[in-house]
Homo-oligomer: A and B are copies of this chain.
Amino acid sequence: MNEAPASERQAWPLDEIVAALRHSREVTHHIRHRGAVRELPSRRVIAEVVEGLTAALFPTHHGREDLNDANIDYYVGNTLARVLPLLTEQVRRSLLCTLDGTDEADPHYHERARAIAAEFAAQLVPIRALLVSDLRAAYQGDPAANSISEVLLVYPGVTAVAYHRIAHRLYKLGATLVARLISEIAHSTTGIEIHPGAHIGESFFIDHGTGVVIGETAIIGNRVRLYQAVTLGAKRFPVDETGALVKGNARHPIVEDDVVIYAGATILGRITLGAGSTIGGNVWLTHSVPPNSSITQAQMRSDCE
């Protein structure tokens, strides 16, 4: 047999492809900032961290299954001891990516990352308090919910809010890239996208949830309830004199206490939904409404039928 077996022939010119990809990376389609290879946060590690934090917050539901009064504190302490250093390193990489090594006193941000992780750890109990208020809101708000355990184990809205409350603290502490990765992990799992910058009060409940989008500067009061496919978005994106987007200004809605927003409603711009209002399904709303308003698509439509 003169012919080489298939596995030894070269099906594709590997050297050429590798060289062309290098050329693309370094010359033609260069996207790396300032040329340096940089340590970046890892989605996989961050997912592991958030699972650990969730287990530490609700060990009997999200931790190991054999926990009891005698061993639960060991489990919680060991889990935190395992994931907080992982979080520290991810925060450091987040800072490195965001701040670009400009801190002369700590060019690799070890100390700042430790301080952020420590401050975050100190807020775990307040985070848990908020999440308990969310669980109760979910149990009370859904006629299909049979127990708090079911809500905690099953509801995607609860998962998304738990991830958000963790991400939001990290966002406020300056670990923005870690925070966004946590949000995106929740988004991928639940279909609910909450920007970690959004401020959300206690007893918050999202039912069903697929397609919900809550923007970076949204402010949500206490006891608010949302359904699937609700958008709390920006109306337009102002550009500066050079035509570039103005980043970071307040551009998403303020939702006051005790508001309910039904499925598919689209609320856009820095408007205020007054306390106690109800926004009907599929409503498209771009102006503020006073407290205790009841806005429905049906009403709007009835005018023209």
Contacts and interface: CB of A to CB of B under 8 A. Distances in A.
Given A78-B78, A122-B12, A122-B17, A146 B98 contact: yes
A82 interface: yes
Contact of A11 (B88, B189, B263): B88
A37 B81 contact: no
Interface in A78-126: 78-82, 84-85, 88, 97-98, 101, 107-108, 110, 114, 117-118, 121-122, 124-125
Contacts of A69: 8, 10, 37
A157 to B, nearest CB: 11
Contact of A143 (B176, B245, B268): B245
A76 B21 contact: yes
A21 B135 contact: no
Contact of A21 (B43, B128, B176, B215): B128
Nearest to A31: B148
Nearest to A263: B231
Contacts of A152: 31
A297 B300 CA distance: 13
A129 B28 contact: yes
Contacts of A23: 125
In the complex, which of the residues A129, A188, A248 has the most CB atoms of chain B within 10 Å of its own CB atom? A188
A216 B142 CA distance: 11
A107 B136 CA distance: 28
A172 to B, nearest CB: 15
Work out how many copies of this chain go into the complex: 6
Contact of A74 (B78, B122, B147, B264): B78
A18 B77 contact: yes
Interface string A200-216: 00000000101101011
Given A21-B76, A229-B229, A176 B146 contact: yes
A281 B215 CA distance: 16
Interface string A126-140: 001100100110001
Sorted from nearest, which 6 A-B pairs have the closest CB atoms? Answer: A304-B304, A74-B77, A71-B81, A78-B78, A29-B132, A74-B78
A89 to B, nearest CB: 11
A197 B249 CA distance: 39
A78 B79 CA distance: 9
A65 interface: yes
16 contacts: A1-B101, A1-B107, A10-B69, A12-B122, A14-B74, A33-B148, A74-B81, A77-B77, A97-B147, A146-B176, A146-B177, A154-B181, A156-B188, A187-B210, A213-B228, A304-B305
A144 B195 contact: yes
B60 A17 contact: no
Contact of A282 (B118, B249, B266): B266
Contacts of A11: 84-85, 88, 114, 117-118
